[in-house]
Amino acid sequence: MAFDVSTERRNARRHARRFHVLSRPGIGDTPENRGSITVEDRAMATCDVCGNSYANSFTVTQGALTRTFDSFECAIHAMAPRCAHCRCAVIGHGVEAGGTVYCCEHCARHSHKGE
């Protein structure tokens, strides 16, 4: 049986019409619109970090700041606090000592040795 590209495209469009989008704020998230927006209808948002346009982008709000990202990698790069000792991104709880954020207890102890 030969591979039929037109059939594959038609099936993909049918699947896209059945897939309802509820993940983007403002699109399909109100009771009157729920389930009425398809993948094909979504706007392409641009990532604030890398500039990629992506239909499955998301927003993160921290205080008054709201940013748009296409991946968790970009969100972490832009918004995660940095360890005061080694400057790595603190993903998770981290350690806070004296009002300063560290990635681990080792960095916190190492930074406070001279005090």
Is the separation of the CB atoms in 53 and 30 below 8 Å?
no
Q: Which of 65, 27, 70 is nearest to 50 (CA)?
A: 70
Instruction: Give pLDDT tens digits for 98-112.
Output: 899 999 999 999 887
Instruction: Give pLDDT tens digits for 69-87.
Output: 999 999 999 999 999 999 9
N residues, the chain: 115
- pLDDT score recorded for residue 37: 45
Cα–Cα distance between 48 and 57 in angstroms, integer? 10
Instruction: Give pLDDT tens digits for 17-34.
Output: 433 333 444 544 555 545
Cα–Cα distance between 22 and 36 in angstroms, integer? 9
Q: Which of 56, 86, 100 is nearest to 74 (CA)?
A: 56
